[in-house]
Amino acid sequence: MQSEKHIERDISHIPKLIETGDIAMLVSQSAHGVLKSRPMEAVEVNSEGEIFFFTTLSSALIHELTENDHVNLSFIKEDHNFISVSGVTQVIQSKDVIVKFWQSRYETWIHEGLDNPSIVLLKVNSVSAEHWSHNTMLSSIRQLFTSGSSDSDNVHESIEP
């Protein structure tokens, strides 16, 4: 079996792959060790690889993160690119920062909007990321079926800080 080619890149490539408004499945771990996933909309992605989401202090997610602040984010893009980001979370309660990123469409996720007293931003500090490209995956699959092996090293790449 051929090993995957790992391409080391600066974490600043994350904003080229993930955009504000992209939906992630955020995976955290409960106190009992159970992995829990929930959809979250990225409200900001910066060049340091930090990704921000709105949530509330009263959410099960925040409770889980007090036990274990490590998460995984999985993104599936419309162009069939797949991105997985592992990171460490930080809760931001600054009203100034919350107001800066707020848009009315986030009321879908946060009832009462900015009037919700427990609204917070969850910042995910990216530790590593992996990216799979649809085009290179299809090329490799075609090669597997036609020649019995794939010579593509570009199916998967890891992005480390």
pLDDT tens by residue, 29-45: 998 999 999 999 999 99
Across 6-15, 47-56, 125-134, the highest mean pLDDT is recorded for 47-56
Residue 96 located in a structural domain? yes
Contacting residues for 15 by C-beta, under 8 A, at least 6 apart: 45, 46, 47, 49
How much of the chain exceeds pLDDT 90, in percent? 59
> Beta-strand (E) ranges in the chain?
23-29, 35-41, 44-45, 50-56, 70-76, 82-92, 119-132, 156-159
The number of CA neighbours under 13 Å toward the Cβ of 124 is 35
Task: Work out how many domains the chain is built from and give that number.
Answer: 1
* Inside any domain, residue 1: no
Task: Please give the residue range of the domain that contains residue 129.
Answer: 11-159
Tens of pLDDT, residues 67-110:
999 999 999 988 888 899 999 999 999 999 999 999 999 998 89
- In this prediction, residue 2 carries a pLDDT of 38
Q: What is the CATH number of the domain that holds 137?
A: 2.30.110.10
* Average pLDDT rounded to a whole number, residues 118-131: 94
Q: What pTM value is reported for the model?
A: 0.79
**Is 2 part of any domain?**
no
In a domain, 4, yes or no: no
